[in-house]
Chain A
Amino acid sequence: MNILTDTGYDEGVSVLGIVDSTVNPLWAVIALGDTPSIGWQIVGSVLTALLLAVFSFRALMRRQPPHIENGCWHCRLDLPFGGGLLHLYNRAFVAAHGMFALRSPETVYFSAAVDSSGKPLQCGSSYCIRGRDPDTRWWSLTAYKNEHLIPNVLNRYSFSKTTIGRGADGSWQIYLSPRHQSENWLPTGEPNGKLTLLLRLYNPSPAVLSDPVTVELPQILPLEKAS
């Protein structure tokens, strides 16, 4: 039957035979109730599709697009991910998380949101970042809270190839902590917030570009385990 009633939807035969035909049309659609009019079906479909699209978009923007993993570091080179839908996704993700980023031959970005044991970085905890100069023209390592620079008494937001204090063998350690550290201290400020690190390699060597998985990157160790 397809008789349109003043309720706005069909007096159709219920699929399950148990749903009252006077219930809300949207609910009737979802609960396999009466067959609504084609108009209500379209309205229900569009609204449901919009909701699905919004949730899917939010979920996509929260998860990492295809990337390269090197220990606890993630890297998205812009070269190997091709075009089409993946390109759309990558572009939208970059717009959400790294607007106006440079291409890989200019700068390779390695980001970390977990320590070397896989635990999420926390602003209230202390870490030792231990490494050597990567194979690149210049590098810098920046700490962010909720994707923005962290206010601190030293006005220090990063260490770089130029500013890092090194040991005799060229290796270095950065102390990421809310509490004062005697050397190479990168403050993390107040304890709440999502902590992330970004290592930028400017004009990286061809070896870094061709095989970022095997590049030697710094380890991020909880301070109590680092000593």
Chain B
Amino acid sequence: MSFELLRWVALTLVLAGTFLLVALWRFPSAVTKIYVRRFGKRLGTPPWNQLQGGALLHPGTDHVVRSSPDILNMFGVYDVSAEPARVRCFVPDWDAYWSISLYAWNTENFYVLNDRMTKPGALELIIVGPGGHHQKKGNETVVMAPTARGVIVLRAVVKNREDTEEVARMQELVQRSTITRYSETGEDPSNPRAAG
């Protein structure tokens, strides 16, 4: 085998390895981009700092592969490039799994809080961007995000999806969740009527 051919094979293998690594590294971000774009299309507005969902999934509405049919999901996108974002949500006061998870743009799950880790009732989460700073006020929980944009998933288990009363109760709770830019005036989360 000639030196030129060996050199060519070595170059090709190095390049192939590099391309593969780049693909593995960038693929999750590309998938996030697709989900966020679809989310924006469904909303009909830019997707940033929006939260939507809270319905039980059916065939055809389960856009994410292997979605759970027993969970009410609120899907959202945060953008903290200009200022922190404020998430207001409500933890159930009955025994049912509930959690809020934050994902970086590359799909890394950098934060999760479940119902057993906090008290029932209103919860205020402040997401701060990379290099940002926020002075905690009151009952705020401050989370540092590794990327300026990312995804929020709020999950609440419905133990029996045929129990319409249970579904409605949990749905009412999760659909009161909101995300806004920090500077936007929000209502008092301790007031159960405030968030609608």
Interface residues of A (CB under 8 A from B): 15, 29, 32, 35, 41-42, 44-46, 48-50, 52-54, 56-57, 60, 85, 88-89, 91-92, 94-103, 106, 137-138, 140, 142, 144, 147-151, 155, 157-158, 160-163, 196, 198, 200, 202-203
Contacts and interface: CB of A to CB of B under 8 A. Distances in A.
B65 A98 contact: yes
A52 B16 contact: yes
B168 interface: no
A203 B62 contact: no
A35 to B, nearest CB: 5
A56 B25 CA distance: 14
Interface in B38-75: 57-60, 62, 64-70
Interface string B153-194: 101010110100000000000000000000000000000000
A158 B19 CA distance: 40
A56 B16 contact: yes
29 contacts: A15-B5, A35-B2, A41-B8, A42-B11, A45-B11, A45-B12, A45-B15, A48-B16, A49-B14, A49-B16, A49-B18, A49-B19, A50-B16, A52-B20, A53-B23, A85-B24, A99-B31, A99-B35, A142-B66, A148-B65, A148-B67, A149-B59, A150-B59, A160-B70, A196-B66, A200-B68, A202-B97, A203-B97, A203-B116
Contacts of B28: 91-92, 94-95
A93 B133 CA distance: 33
Contacts of A142: 66, 68-70
Interface string B86-126: 00000000000101010100111100101010000000000
A102 to B, nearest CB: 6
Given A49-B15, A99-B107, A100-B107, A57 B69 contact: no
A52 B13 CA distance: 8
B151 interface: yes
A44 B8 contact: yes
A103 B155 CA distance: 13
Nearest to A145: B59
Contacts of B116: 203
Contacts of A48: 12, 16
B73 to A, nearest CB: 9
Question: Size class of B's contact patch?
Answer: 35 or more
Nearest to A32: B5
Given A29-B8, A140-B70, A57 B16 contact: no
For B23, B35, B58, the residue with the greatest tally of chain A CB atoms inside 10 Å of its CB is B23
Contact of B159 (A29, A102, A157, A162): A162
A89 to B, nearest CB: 6
A148 B58 CA distance: 9
Contacts of A41: 4, 8, 11
Contacts of A88: 21, 24-25
A157 B107 CA distance: 27
Contacts of A157: 59, 69
Given A45-B11, A147-B65, A53 B16 contact: yes
Contact of A100 (B5, B103, B162): B103
A148 B157 CA distance: 19
Contacts of A102: 99, 101, 109, 112, 155
A103 B5 contact: no
Contacts of A85: 21, 24
